Structure 1
Amino acid sequence: MTVDVFGTDALRGAVLEAWRASPTRLREDANTEEDHARGYYRDRVLVELAQNAADAATRAGVAGRLLLRVATTDEGTAVLVAANTGSPLDAAGVASMASLRASAKRDAGAGTVGRFGVGFAAVRAVADEVTVCSTSGAVRFSLADTREAVGRTAAQEAAQGRAALADEVRRRDGSLPALRLPWPTEGRPPSGYDTAVVLELRDAPALDEVRSLLSDVDDLLLLALPGLVEVLVDVEGEWPRRLADVHDRWDVLTAGGEVPLGVVADRPVEQRTARAWRVTWALPRVPEDAPGGTVPRVVHAPTPTDEPCSLPAVLVATLPLDPSRRHVVPGPLTDEVLARAGEAYAELVGRLAAAGQDAAALVPTGLAAGAIDAALREHALAALVRTPLLVPASPDDDLVPPLRATVVRDLSDGPAVTALGAVVAGLVRVPPSGTAALRALGVEERTLAEVVDELPTGGDVDWIALYDALDAAAQDATAREGLAALPVPLVDGRVVRGPRGVVLLDDDVAGLAPATLDALRSWGLRVADPAVVRPLLARLGAQRLDAAGLLAHPALRAAVLGQADDDDLEHADEVTAAVLDVVAAAGAVPPDAAVWLGLLTLDAADGEPAPAHGLVLPGGAAARLLDDRVLAPVAADAVERWGRDVLAAVGVRDDLVVTTVPDVVAGVADDDGDDPAALAAASLDGWEQYVADLADVLGPGTYCGDVAAVADLDAVDDACWPALLAHVAGTPALRAALVTPVRGEGAAATGPSYTAWWLRTRADLPVPEVFALPGARGLPAALVPPAPDLLHGLDATVLRALGGIGSLAEVPPDRWAVLLERLGPVGTRVPLDVAGHVWRAWARGAGPQEPPATVVALVGPGVAQVVDDAAVADDPRWWQRATSDVPVVPVPGADGSDAGAARTVADLLDLPLASDGTDADVGGGDPEEVPDALLALLPDAPTVWWRHDDLRIGGEPVDWWVQGAGADARMHAVHVAGLAAALAWATGRWASRGAVAALLGDPDDGDAALDLVIG
């Protein structure tokens, strides 16, 4: 006989009596059980059983162990056994299982999980027959027995005329609340366990559901129910599993306490005493994308709810739930627990960060997944900002709380950040993936420029390490901009901001005297401390200078130029010594620096100070050729101290030197200023007049580029001109400065070099402006004198630069006026050979730059004379009209083959053509036949000519005239000689007119005939 140890008979009687009295109560109980079994708890049978097991262990104060086993009975029924350790079943527990929302754990204290008294209803999702056997006894719940008992009661009621209960039972069609009627039974839990719940699985789908739930059992069950330390899963021996030692696989943090009484004031009566709160956070120690590392993104309270949680850890918290136990109930208690959960999460992240884990990956970012998640994230972030969790840039520093952290926006991680961390408090390292986390935490973001602006300029800073670390970052243009204000220690102990403008001295400057370095600093050079010179500084704009680079620095030029106004002789000597020290180290002087270095003050031999370019070195070519009253010898002790090469490099004349004036513009004399062009121009005598003359030749404003000039020509000893000219001609650089003409951009003409111009216009040498080159032919001395003895031995190229010509075609346009003046005043007879040279030169395009005041012209047959007005003969016909009243300039070669030659000469001389305004029509005359002997040799000649006794053109008598050309020409003549000229002109054989005349006199003249044939 089964013993009723838990008073189940009384419980059943009370329930049946209640249903008898109120069939509606049956309906309510049945609906409630069905709601829980098929709705709220449809997939939570294992979780609810595990929760009861955990609570039993907690109440007993023992380690909770749970066995979940699926087996098949001898009768072939599949059963689920859930056995656990802990407090055995008692009457209160049975009463709780048989009631709804009347938990026996109300006063169980902290640590228990069940609170509503409805979780056991989950068993009805898979079973209609349930047995709970414990070491204290056993009880069972049976849908079949409930149907039978309710059926009997309904039948009794119906017999007494009360059919309400029977009608309700009939309407429910057997769906009755099986858990409301407990029955005594017998049974023992498996060995080693205190209580076991045995479920006879309803059917195959129920078995499949249980199998699926068992396959999902994992560490989360132990994390959610800390009362359990072990879970054994055994499905008919197929894949037994043991879950234990969960803390070996998870980082877990648990916090707890008691909420203020006012927080639970709005909770249901039975829950107001449950003021204890508990929060557990768990994070897998394997990556989330690895097996076993997946974190369910829902809140656990303690079993899983439907509330999403976006934080990358498991949250188990004593949050109040609605009756479905799937949603958190809003209210003060929820707010309080979420706040504590946020603090606990920050504590866990801080602990993991201290262990070396990337805390940025644990910071919530992005959008919240719901209201609970949003509140939880808000509390977590509020606590995280005060938690030391960010990796400091300096490896020697402690973790930094976000509230005091700074990150460089342009430079999140790497050696540069590490180096900056040594001097910037709160600077943290952030991998690229952590940027969003830092923004969520409100970490101060600063640009690299802002961080650099606040770098200390004093104190113990390892500048070399800092520069080397920042060098890689400076490859990026944006980072270089951010480093613009980087502090740089100077050699004098100061620290300046910004490498731009700082000078990095090269190794060849290391030997400079300390006094020289002091002078450089006093002149405004910001010289970096050699101990901190690194490639980064040059990359950021610092100027790396060797000795030659120093010479090109504006500070040295300013110091030299300032000597002229310095009354402090001692200071001037210091400048000189420092500059010469730099020049000695450089070995060579940049071209731009050579000009202003010539202004460096040195002592002359007589002790007087003078600019370097105003002194000469004893024994050199300059000392031999230049007047020592103009350029004095330099002091002997200067030569002994610095050497000839150094002094020559700064402008002391050892030989004649070439000064180059850059960017010359014709007509613009930039000789007032301290730029290289102005300084170079100012050192050249007559420069302003020279560029003005260039403008006359090339045109004002013509760009001429760089012009090289031999300097100090105004200081030549008068007795040394022959030697100087020979020296210039024989020295390549000097020679080039003499013989190279100036070519203007876009100009067809060329101008003389400055050296040639100066020697021809300012040297006061006995050299004609134009003279004949030795060996030149066809240049009458009356027109072009020979080269003077002063120029004896010079080659033709040099002589040409000084005014020598080989023909009149070489006469420069601006020298024609001089040549014509040599022929004498108006009326002077000019020999025909001299006049012929002039006329041929004009016909070939040579001529004066401006129309001359006088010209050489024919004033009669064979008579040339200097005249001030004339006409240019169109062709040889017009030569006949030359008279003293109508002088004619003949144009050799203008015989019809070059119709434009006469017009070119007329334009050159600004004279009219002889044909202008002259009536050249000829009428009358007696026709005569051209001799056959001539026609045989001149087949293209006209066959008839017209004889005149008096032939005139424009009122002037002529010997012949031709109208037209070739066989159709009309020839006029007053005699046979005139006919010969007409025939030669008409047939285009003007040069052979003598042979034509000879044949007219003697048709058998063989030589004349041959001349015509081959001419």
Structure 2
Amino acid sequence: MTTDVFGTAALRGAVLEAWRASPARLREDANSEEDHARGYYRDRVLVELAQNAADAATRAGVGGRLLLRLATADDGTAVLVAANTGAPLDAAGVASLASLRASAKREAGTGTVGRFGVGFAAVRAVSDEVTVCSTSGAVRFSLADTLQVLEETAAQEAAQGRSTLADEVRRRDGSVPALRLPWPAQGPPPTGYDTAVVLVLRDAVVREEVRSLLEAVDDVLLLALPGLVEVLVDVEGDAPRRLADVHDRWDVLTAEGEVPLALVADRPVEQRGARSWRVTWALPRGGAPVPRVVHAPTPTDEPCSLPAVLVATLPLDPSRRHVVPGPLTDEVLARAADAYAELVGRVAAAGQDATALVPTGLAAGVVDGALRARVLEALVRTPMLVPASPQDPLVPPLRATTVRDLPDGPAAAALGAVVTGLVRVPPSGAAAVRALGVEERTLAEVVDDLPTGGEVDWPALYDALDAVALDATAREGLAALPVPLVDGRVVRGPRGVVLLDDDAAGLAPATLEALRTWGLRVADPGVVRPLLTRLGAQRVDAAALLAHPALRAAVLGQADDDDLEHAAEVTAAVLDVVAAAGAVPPGAVGWLGLLTLDAADGEPAPAHGLVLPGGPAARLLDDRVLAPVAADVVERWGRDVLAAVGVRDDLVVTTVPDVVAGVAPDDEGDDGAALAAASLDGWAEYVDHLADVLDVGAYCGDVAAVADLDAVDDACWPDLLAHLAATPALRAALVTPVRGEGATATGPSYTAWWLRTRADLPLPEVFALPGVTGLPAALVPPVPDVLTGLDADVLRALGGVGSLAEVPGARWAAVLERLGPVGTAVPLDVAGHVWRAWAAGSGPDEPPAVVVALTAPGVAHVVEDAVVADDPRWWQCAGADDVPVVPVPVAGLGDDRAVRVADLLDLPLASSQVDADVAGEGEPEDVPDALGALLPDAPVVWWRHDDLRVAGAPVGWWVVGSGPDAQLHAVHVAGLAAALAWAAGRWGARGAVEALLTDPDDGEAALGLVLG
């Protein structure tokens, strides 16, 4: 027997009476139930049942457990059972279930979720037969029973003459409010549970829908309804699925409080007492996806783009799917934003990437946009960004800075140690930091703000930034990087900073201070790193330091400084650098010689004006010109250092760079050429001499020269010459000629030129090398005694020649002068040397005042004027009309040596000055046939003369024309042989021709003369 423990009869009677009194009330209740069941809650039956279960557990103060079971009843219908623990059903609860918008949970602060009494109406979406079984009793709701009662009630009214209710029931066509009429029922809930809602599912379609809803039940249900600690899903045919211990899989943060009364003033009366608010955020620890909707606490249709589950007591509209805008919503969203920021802070503190939780992009809706704005506002004050320096705490975005295009790594960590608020952001977090308004700066801006004081680990910073500087853009950003200097200052920008190598790092403090005063920015050795070089710092060793313009300027400045103390400081600093370098760059030799040192007599003098005691320079040079350096200076710095800066231990070779013939360096200049040339006596005259030899403007490159020759002791010249010849560097500067670019001739070295023209040495213009044959003493004198013992190369540099062809053009005048004055007879063998040299191309640079010429056949004299024989025919005309003839040995027809000699001596050719008409009659004769094989192109006829004259002079032969048609004239066999050889172009074969003419039968002998 069913017992009506909840007074359902009274409830039904009251409702039926109300419907009878006002059929419109029936219509209103039916529409309302239909809206909630089939509209608002069409897909929320499980959520609403779970909400009621959570409220029951909360009221009972126990952890709620919920069973959701889908099974098949004995009659084949599908049944959904939702059983829960907690407070059992009571009369008030039944009344609430049977009413819409009249919840039994009115009191605020109870911790329950349901408040409006409409959630239970969701069961009508899937069932027409609903039973609620509890340990306190049972009640059921039935669409069929409700229709039956209404039909009976309508029939009673019809009997009484009223049909209004009957008309309304007829119009509803079976759609009546089944949940308004409760019926007593019986049956306990499942074992272990206090209450169960049993739903007979309407049809197979509904069964599948419910099955899908059951499969979708997950942790979010427990997160949204904290009153539940367990949900057991039991679907017929599947293994039961238990959801519990949700905090093991989610990071959950809950905040709650009470809103001011003013914020609920515009809410409905039933809701004004509900001033408590509660916000829960949950993040899946495994990175599982989260539903992107707002829960209030059940899911709404309001999208939420934040990557966490939000459960908040937001006010909803009657459909419970949308948040109602207003002050209360704004307040709860603000609390939710604060709670979310706190959760993000916890995530960051746990070492996870918090930027993934920052909302970026566009909002998904109005509520989402309002929430995101408040979240960003809260996050900017939340310590959540990872500091670039590992020792620093988390940084709130409000005080954070990022560096554009700076990769996360050692560089960021190193900068973070000196830049406040610098944070590390993974590439995926770029949009997040922009949304948070984090200050983004360029690397150049950050570098500009780096401190130049305080404790900064510069080496570590440089090492960390080195990899970044591989990029050209990054190098520009690092241009203002601070660099500590050795004097304690910190300057901005490596460019122009000097990094000392190991050999220079040990310079004395006074030297380093001097370098600073000279304008060198020397980096502290402790901070020297490859990065500084990459950014433009100049890495130098001591030798490179000597080449630095600052040192050169300091030395040149002290040379003109009357402050001896300052000059001594400069000298000490420079000598310290030279000692560290061990060698002096070639370009520094000239100006280093201007360093002021103390001489042995205590007087200051430039380094290049002093000598080292006991050395070759002290032995060979006059101490009145170059004094010895003070002994204490030698003791302090050593001979090698002093010699390196120009103090003479030996004679030194000075190299003058970029020499141009005829152009002397500016005496007032301080460039390398001017300084080098200033130490060389007569340099201006020497380059003028080069211009005479090589042409003005000829580029000669670098010219090496032995310095201080003007300081040689007069008694030491033989020793000096021997020393020059025996010392390789000095010897090279003596014997190496100067070559002009594009010039065919060569000029003497400066050393050779000076010794020949300015030294007090008895050197002739030209002299014969020892052992040379074929050079008559009448033309070239022997080696002077002062040069005895020197080798041939040295002697050549000083004027020695092995033949007349080696005589320089400028010295030919001296050779001719040795032959004597005009009119002096010259032996033919001596004159022949001169003529052969001229024919070979040797000769004076300018036409000589006198020449050696034939004044008669076989007779030579020194003459002032002459003509040059065009060919051997003209040798016979010497003395004709008192015209001397210069013979020119030639090979035959077409040889232009005569023309070249005429140009060399500036003399006319004989053919242009003498009438070459042949005088006298001759008898024609045939040329012997025997000559045909030897001279096939020779004429076959010649003219014999008893007396043959040309230009009034008797000659032995003459030829007019050439080749087979030439006219041959001769007075004897030798003349005929010469004429035939010349006409046939075989001048060298004239001896063989003469032999064949003498004995036509002895052809072999003639052939031997030709071949021999």
Q: TM-score, normalised by structure 2?
A: 0.89
Task: Give the letter for the 2:940 counterpart.
Answer: T
CA contact (8 A) 2:660 2:701 kept: yes
Question: Paired residue for 2:50?
Answer: 50
Match of 2:308 in 1: 313
CA distance in 2, matches of 1:135, 1:574: 109
Cα distance in 2 for partners of 1:591, 1:208 equals 99
User: 1:198 Cα deviation (Å)?
Assistant: 0.8
Note if 1:734 corresponds to 2:730.
yes
24-33 vs 970-979, which moves further: 24-33
Q: In 2, distance between residues paired with 1:697 and 1:99?
A: 130
Inter-partner Cα distance in structure 2 for 1:499 and 1:657 = 39
Is the contact made by 2:941 and 2:968 (CA closer than 8 Å) also made in structure 1?
A: no
Q: What pairs with 1:517-916 in structure 2 (closer than 5 Å)?
A: 517-530=512-525, 532=527, 537=532, 540-543=535-538, 546-670=541-665, 672-820=668-816, 831-850=827-846, 861-862=857-858, 874-877=870-873, 879=875, 890-896=887-893, 899-902=895-898, 904-905=900-901, 908=904
**Following the alignment from structure 2 to structure 1, what is the Cα–Cα distance between the partners of residues 320 and 820?**
133
SS in 2 for 1:705: strand
Q: Deviation at 1:104?
A: 4.6
Query: Structure 1's 683 and 120: CA in aligned 2 closer, same or farther, altered over 3 A?
Result: same
Task: Note if 1:987 corresponds to 2:984.
Answer: yes
Deviation at 1:895, TM superposition (A): 1.1
Residue 890 of structure 1: how far off its partner (Å): 4.5
C-alpha RMSD of the superposition = 3.9
Aligned to 1:257: 257
| Paired residue type of 1:194 | D
Q: Is the 8 A contact 2:947 2:971 kept in 1?
A: no
Distance 1:234 1:498 in 2: 74
Q: Quickly say closer, same or farther: Cα 1:991–1:61, change in 2 above 3 A.
A: same
- CA distance change for structure 1 residues 90 and 845 in 2, over 3 Å: closer, same or farther? farther
Q: CA–CA distance in 2 between the matches of 1:754 and 1:911?
A: 34
Q: Is the 8 A contact 1:962 1:969 kept in 2?
A: no
**2:854/2:885 contact within 8 Å kept:** yes
Give distance in 1, aligned partners of 2:324 and 2:802. 118
Range moving further from structure 2, 162-171 or 829-838: 162-171
Q: CA deviation at 1:622?
A: 1.1
2:939 aligned residue: 942
Aligned ranges 1:83-98 → 2 under 5 Å: 83-98=83-98
For 1:672 and 1:987, locate their aligned partners in 2 and report how far apart those are by CA, in whole Å: 68
Q: CA deviation at 1:874?
A: 5.0
Q: C-alpha separation between the residues in 2 aligned to 1:822 and 1:178? A: 155
Distance change (3 Å), C-alpha of 1:644 and 1:204: same
Checking the alignment, whether the CA contact within 8 Å between 1:298 and 1:304 is kept in structure 2 is yes
What residue in structure 1 maps to residue 419 of structure 2? 424
- Once the two structures are superposed, residues 114-159 of structure 1 have per-residue CA deviations (whole angstroms, 9 ceiling, x without a partner) of 3554433332333232212233432222333344445556667788
Alignment of 1:216 with 2:212, yes or no, is no
CA contact (8 A) 1:299 1:314 kept: yes
Measure the CA separation in 2 of the matches of 1:835 and 1:422.
96
Deviations 1:544-568 (A, max 9, x none): 5554454444444333333322323
Say which is worse superposed, 478-487 or 683-692, in terms of deviation: 478-487
Q: From the superposition, tell whether residues 465 and 197 of structure 1 become closer, same or farther in structure 2 (CA, over 3 Å).
A: same
CA distance 1:749–1:322, shift in 2 (3 Å): farther
Distance (whole Å) between structure 2 residues aligned to residue 62 and residue 13 of structure 1: 36
Q: Secondary structure at the match of 1:628?
A: coil
Cα distance in 1 for residues equivalent to 2:138 and 2:456: 80
SS state at 1:239 partner: coil
SS at match of 1:787: coil
Unaligned runs of 5+ in 2: none
- Partner SS, residue 423 of structure 1: coil
Equivalent AA in structure 1 for residue 133 of structure 2: C
1:65 partner SS = strand
Contact 1:59 1:108 in 2 (8 A): no
CA drift at 1:33: 4.7
Output the CA distance in 1 between the equivalents of 2:297 and 2:78: 29
| Residues 657 and 229 (structure 1), Cα distance of their counterparts in 2 relative to 1, 3 Å cut | same
Q: Write the distance in 2 (CA, Å) between the matches of 1:957 and 1:113.
A: 155
Measured after TM superposition, the shift of residue 581 of structure 1 is 4.0
User: Secondary structure at 1:800's aligned position in 2?
Assistant: helix
CA distance in 2, matches of 1:949, 1:162: 189
**CA gap 1:695/1:350 in 2 versus in 1, 3 angstroms:** farther
Q: 2:213, 2:915 → 1: CA distance?
A: 133
Deviations 1:4-42 (A, max 9, x none): 444544555666677778888767765655554455433
In the TM superposition, residue 410 of structure 1 has moved relative to its aligned partner by: 4.9
Query: 1:841-877, CA deviations, whole angstroms, 9 ceiling, x for partnerless residues?
Result: 3433334445556655556644556667766555445
For each residue in 1:605-642, what CA deviation from the matched residue of structure 2 results, as whole angstroms up to 9, or x when unmatched? 22222112111222221122111111112223333443
Secondary structure, aligned partner of 1:343: helix
Partner amino acid, structure 2, of 1:221: L
Kindly indicate whether the alpha-carbon contact (under 8 Å) linking 1:948 and 1:972 is maintained by their aligned counterparts in 2. Answer: no
State the SS of the aligned residue for 1:721: helix
Report the Cα distance in structure 2 between the residues aligned to 1:19 and 1:820, rounded to whole angstroms.
159
Q: Distance in 1 between matches of 2:43 and 2:29?
A: 21
Give unpaired runs (5+ residues) of structure 1: none
User: Is residue 390–residue 429 contact of structure 1 (8 Å, CA) maintained in 2?
Assistant: yes
Aligned residue number for residue 206 of structure 1: 206
AA of the residue aligned to 1:447: T
Amino acid at match of 2:712: V
What is the letter of the counterpart of residue 351 of structure 1? R
| Matched residue, 1:69 | 69
Query: Is 1:930 aligned to 2:927, yes or no?
Result: yes
| TM superposition shift of 1:390 | 2.3
In structure 2, distance between residues paired with 1:330 and 1:947: 148
| Residue type of the alignment partner of 1:724 | L
Does residue 380 (structure 1) correspond to residue 372 (structure 2)? The answer is no
Deviation at 1:188, TM superposition (A): 2.6
Cα offset, 1:395, TM superposition: 4.0
For 1:819 and 1:602, locate their aligned partners in 2 and report how far apart those are by CA, in whole Å: 50
**1:139 alignment counterpart:** 139
Contact 1:876–1:895 (CA under 8 A) maintained in structure 2: no
Q: In 1, distance between residues paired with 2:688 and 2:171?
A: 128
In 2, distance between residues paired with 1:900 and 1:129?
A: 141
Which amino acid letter does the alignment assign opposite residue 786 of structure 2?
L
Q: Deviations over 1:34-56 (max 9, x none)?
A: 55445543332211211222233
- Pair 1:970 & 2:966 matched: yes
Task: Write the distance in 1 (CA, Å) between the matches of 2:132 and 2:867.
Answer: 148
Deviations 1:394-422 (A, max 9, x none): 44433222212223335454344444444
Shift of 1:774: 1.9
Comparing 555-564 with 87-96, greater Cα deviation is found at: 87-96
Q: How many residues of Structure 1 are paired with residues of Structure 2 in the alignment?
A: 1008
Instruction: Compute the TM-score of the two structures, normalised by the length of structure 1.
Output: 0.88
- CA displacement 1:781-827 (0-9 Å, x = unmatched): 34333322221111111111122222233233444455455556777
CA contact (8 A) 2:968 2:980 kept: no
Contact 2:108-2:276 within 8 A present in 1 as well = no
Equivalent-residue separation in structure 1 for 2:89 and 2:809 (angstroms): 135
For the Cα contact (< 8 Å) 1:346–1:380, is it kept in 2? yes
Deviation at 1:572, TM superposition (A): 2.9
Worse overlay, 482-491 or 948-957: 948-957
Q: Find out whether 1:187 has 2:187 as its counterpart.
A: yes
